[in-house]
Structure 1
Amino acid sequence: MIRVCYFASLREIAGKSEETIDREAWTVQELLDWAESTYPAFQHKTMFVAVNEEYARREDPIRDGDVIALIPPVSGG
C-alpha cells in the first residue's frame, strides 16, 4: 500500500487529505499520471512530489509502504 497525502489546493480538489493506494511499485511519473486521471483538475496544477519526506524526481521509484506528498508551490512573505 502506498499512502498519498494532498496539501493545500490539491487537498481541496481531491476532497480529502490523504488516501491509500493498493500498489506495490510505481515511479513518481506513474503516480502523477494516475493522479491526473483520477482528479482531472490536477492536470492544470504545478506540484512537487516528496517520497518519504524527500523531494523526488519523476523517474524515482515508489514502493509498498512509502508515503507520498503532493505539494503545490507556495509563496509568502
Structure 2
Amino acid sequence: MIDVVYFAWVRERIGVPREQIDTTAATVMDLVTELTAREDRYALAFSDLDSLRVAVDQELVDFDAPLVGVREVAFFPPMTGG
C-alpha cells in the first residue's frame, strides 16, 4: 500500500486529498497509468503531466522514479512565488 496525496487543483479534480492505493506499479509513471485508467476524474487530473510535479517520500523526483519501498507519493502543480 502506498499513500497517494493530491494538492491544489489536482485534489480538486480528483475529489479527495489523499488515498491509500494497493498497486503493483514499478515507477511513478506506472502509478499514473493505473490511476488514469480508474475514472475520468483521474484522467483529467493527469492529462497534462508537464503541469505536474511529483514527490516520493517528500523528495522531488521525475515520473520515472522507482516505487520500491516507497510509503508516499504526492502530486502537485509547480510552486510559484512572489
TM-score of the aligned structures, taking structure 2 as reference length: 0.79
Q: Number of residue pairs matched?
A: 77
Q: Name the structure with the higher helix share.
A: 2
Q: TM-score if structure 1 supplies the norm length? A: 0.83
Higher strand share: 1
Indicate yes or no: 2:31 matched with 1:28: no
Q: Which runs of 4+ in 1 moved over 6 A?
A: none
Q: Which blocks of at least 5 consecutive residues in structure 2 are unaligned?
A: none
- 1:1-77 mapped onto 2 (5 Å cutoff): 1-38=1-38, 39-42=42-45, 43-44=47-48, 46-64=51-69, 66-77=71-82
Q: CA deviation at 1:33?
A: 1.7
Shift of 1:54: 0.5
Task: Encode CA deviations 1:1-27: one digit per residue, 9 max, x unaligned.
Answer: 011000000000010000111125520
Sequence identity percentage: 35
Post-superposition offset of 1:28: 1.1
